[in-house]
Amino acid sequence: MKNLISSAIANTIFSFKKIGVKRIIAAVLVGFLLFVTNVNPVNAAQSARPIGERIAEQQQQSSREFDRPKTTGEWNRQAREVESDPGERFKRIGEQSAEAFKQFGEVITNSIQALATS
């Protein structure tokens, strides 16, 4: 077992010497810089804006597309309107849940696409 471990270590050291430690370190540093920095000349104007501003704009666009309550007051008002009719209440809950899941899916899809292009 000791021979196996020591031979594996010796082979690894020999491989590093053969390839060159400087080259490995340089490749690791270049890879790190590429992953950490946000260099994208195609979307430079888009990526120059703060992320909070882009998220707020995306939320405003998606909230305009859907017709469902957005505040607690609107939810309570709608609940009082259909308080006496449980069937209508469940119908509205189902419709609004479907809209919410659709909106969530679109936001996630847009976010993934934005991350993929940046």
The tens digit of pLDDT for each residue in 10-62 reads: 888 887 777 777 777 888 888 887 777 765 555 555 566 677 777 777 766 65
Domain that holds residue 112: 41-118
pLDDT at 44: 54
One domain for residues 57 and 2? no
Write down the pLDDT at residue 118: 63
On whether both 63 and 113 belong to a single domain, the answer is yes
Number of residues written out for the chain: 118
31 with 74, same domain? no
pTM: 0.40
Domains in the chain, number: 2
The mean pLDDT value for 103-117 works out to: 80
With contact defined as beta carbons under 8 Å apart, do 68 and 99 qualify?
Answer: yes
Phi and psi at 92, nearest 5°, equal -65, -40
Tokens at residue 35, please?
A: 């992953």
- Rounded Cα distance between 107 and 103, Å, is 6
